[in-house]
Amino acid sequence: MNALVMYDRETDSLWSQFLGEAVRGKLEGAKLELAPSRLTRWSAWKEEYPDTLALDIGRPVFDQYLDYYVGPSAGILGQSNRDDRLIGKDLVVGILGDESQRAYAHKHLTKARVLNDTFEGTSIVVTLDLNSGATGIFERSVQGRLLTFSHGPGPGEMTDVETGTSWSKLTGMARGGELEGMRLTPFPSFDAFWFGWSDFYPNTELYDPVVE
């Protein structure tokens, strides 16, 4: 289904990159824990974490998929579940729950920038930083206090209505205000092309800005 299959050296079980689940072998059905991740520009990451170490592969870095990103093709095998709610190559950030899945299109977040939402009983904030291109999803409760967020005054910032504290969209760290130094808990998510997300999760919910 157009996604990498890995194997572990201990049992030779095969694992779906997209599902994080063993699909064949001794560990079939076992799932890996999804860790929060960020798709962002290197310059934005370095600004937040100037002492970052980066893997040097020893040769000039060239992305062989540049033409693929802008082309109409959906992977090697094509799309198996055509879902016309979005264009196949639209980027989404998706979250997984015990009973459901939900996706937020980058193009919708470009307009909203900061979206307060609830998913399977958890209050979350979904963000997009236009400067870095990074999405972020965090829990909205800090020390038992539920916060409501809006777009902040500075690049890559959002502000909570309750205290006026400014927060980094990339890290979830409070930069200034009453809650300075606090950090929002990341909600596990990952970015994907819409055709891939809808292939693996055909019953996914999709944030609809018209309905909202």
Whether residue 134 is predicted with pLDDT greater than 70 in this model: the reply is: yes
**pLDDT value at residue 66:** 86
**pLDDT value at residue 64:** 84
Q: Which two tokens stand for residue 28?
A: 């079939």
CA 167/CA 173 separation, integer angstroms: 5
Q: Which two tokens stand for residue 192?
A: 């994907």
Q: Which of 26-40, 73-87, 149-163, 190-204 has the lowest mean pLDDT?
A: 73-87
**pLDDT value at residue 8:** 97
* Size (the chain), residues: 212
Set out the domains of the chain in order of their start, with CATH numbers: 1-33 (no CATH), 37-206 (2.102.10.10)
DSSP label of 186: B
Q: Which residue has the tokens 């572990």?
A: 8
pLDDT in tens, 67-109: 888 888 888 787 888 889 999 999 999 999 999 999 999 999 9
Q: Which residue has the tokens 């916060």?
A: 147
Q: How deeply is 83 buried, as exposed, middle or buried, from its count of CB atoms within 10 A (0-12, 13-18, 19+)?
A: middle
Name the pTM for this structure.
Answer: 0.89
Calculate Rg over the CA atoms of the chain: 19
